[in-house]
Structure 1
Amino acid sequence: MTTRRHTFVDRLLIQADQSLRTLVPGAALANRPSPALPLADHALPETERRRVAGLMRINHTGEVCAQALYQGQALTAKLPDIRRKMEQAAEEEIDHLAWCEQRLKELNSHPSVFNPLFYGVSFGLGAVAGLVSDRVSLGFVAATEQLVERHLDDHLTRLPVDDARSRAILEQMRDDEIQHGNQALAAGGVRFPAPVKAAMTLMSKVMTTATYRV
């Protein structure tokens, strides 16, 4: 029995379906249970609740961007093995998306209204990276994951001591991002030069500033 190979049109339709699953609230379903589930949800003072919600909204948008990046790269990757790696990474990142969305609900908050905009930008960047070369595409993944890791480290220092649920989510996300970045480099990803990483950092600041409150 042979496995049907997807055509470019097939992949476009698959990407459209995944885009809706990423952007429509409640559509993302995690394969792993949230690491926050066994932990108590302590009531936070209003100012701290808003601050944590802002941080989790940033992380949720970051996962929307990650989905778009991987999906854009999978669409244009040249080698089937690289395409499968991108699709697998996107599946694993869905967990993060769902966990952050659930935590936002628990905090009586919501995802950012800018998610469709950042999704489109990230999808385009991923698709362009895949068109350039698979090594550049993998290098983009590694550089992005390193940037996300730094964001998560910063957010962990800013969480209230009593917010064990958000902390558990971010710690597991950080572990996964480190693994994805290392895998991308091991698969042949190029190491981006400092100016490129600086530009990526600047773009991430635009995203975090825009999504913290809205």
Structure 2
Amino acid sequence: MAFPLPDRAILTFDRALRTVTAQARSSRPYPAAESGVDQLDEQQKQHSAGLMRVNHVGEICAQALYDAQSAFSRSTEVERQLQHSCIEEEDHLAWTATRLQELNSHASLLNPLWYAGAYCCGVVAAKCGDAVSLGFVVETERQVEAHLAGHLQQLPEQDQRSRLIVEQMRQDEIEHGAAAQALGAREMPAPVRWLMKGMARVMTSTAYFI
């Protein structure tokens, strides 16, 4: 159902507000629910929290990207797939927020900025057509999957709760990329891929601390 422009703007603002104020809800069970309490020292807690804060920011950006791309997609099929992926990304957002609370840490103070920047990127990708928009999803998910695989190497061995969350997220990202590819994604040019990596590097290095 297509909403009038003012209604769409209100709905978009409401979703953005709920995303950046940590009101995400998970539709699936928390991956670490059955895991015991990890015995981490203070340094390990801080490191795990930094990595999970980066992952939380990634999910803030995912919400913005998928929201923008689905809103401006040109086919119902693409819109549905993007919305489905967005729901699973909201699970990730809720899980990482929960883990940050367990680690007695906080989300990034720059979340509104991350959301706004990602939303603009999503609009630009969508305006280039569905094939380009889907290609942007494929490349994003490819980079995120590699990023999460790296976190599995960096997390303290004792931090099984974070590991369970990150591994489930990694599997979901692979599926999202494959689904976008199956819908006719166009390969992103090398300069675009490099730019995306550069932007991600700025985000991850900043969000680890702030």
Give TM-score scaled by structure 1 length: 0.95
Opposite residue 148 of structure 2, the aligned amino acid is L
Counterparts of 1:26-175 in structure 2, within 5 Å, are: 27-175=23-171
Say if 2:203 is the partner of 1:207.
yes
SS state of the match for residue 190, structure 1? coil
Opposite residue 6 of structure 1, the aligned amino acid is F
Corresponding residue for 2:4? 7
Structure 2: runs of 5 or more not aligned: none
Q: What is the CA–CA distance in structure 2 between the aligned matches of 1:118 and 1:5, rounded to whole Å?
A: 27
Corresponding residue for 1:198? 194
Among 172, 178, 185, the residue aligned to 1:182: 178
Number of matched residues?
210
- Give 1:5 deviation, angstroms: 4.0
Could you tell me whether the CA contact under 8 Å between 1:58 and 1:212 is conserved in 2?
Answer: yes
- Give 1:11 deviation, angstroms: 2.8
Opposite residue 148 of structure 1, the aligned amino acid is V
CA distances 1:165-201 after superposition (whole Å, capped 9, x unpaired):
0000000000000000010010111111222111111
Opposite residue 156 of structure 2, the aligned amino acid is P
Q: What is the CA–CA distance in structure 1 between the aligned matches of 2:134 and 2:99, rounded to whole Å?
A: 30
CA distances 1:66-105 after superposition (whole Å, capped 9, x unpaired):
1000111122112222222222211111000000000000
- Give 1:20 deviation, angstroms: 1.5
Opposite residue 36 of structure 2, the aligned amino acid is A
- Give 1:17 deviation, angstroms: 1.8
- Give 1:18 deviation, angstroms: 1.3
Q: What is the CA–CA distance in structure 2 between the aligned matches of 1:183 and 1:10, rounded to whole Å?
A: 29
- Give 1:56 deviation, angstroms: 0.1
Structure 1: runs of 5 or more not aligned: none
SS state of the match for residue 106, structure 2? coil
Could you tell me whether the CA contact under 8 Å between 1:71 and 1:90 is conserved in 2?
Answer: yes
Could you tell me whether the CA contact under 8 Å between 1:12 and 1:75 is conserved in 2?
Answer: no
Q: What is the CA–CA distance in structure 1 between the aligned matches of 2:45 and 2:205, rounded to whole Å?
A: 18
Q: What is the CA–CA distance in structure 2 between the aligned matches of 1:208 and 1:11, rounded to whole Å?
A: 31
- Give 1:210 deviation, angstroms: 0.8
SS state of the match for residue 209, structure 2? coil
Aligned-pair identity in percent equals 46
CA distances 1:121-179 after superposition (whole Å, capped 9, x unpaired):
10001011111101111111110000100110100001111111000000000000000
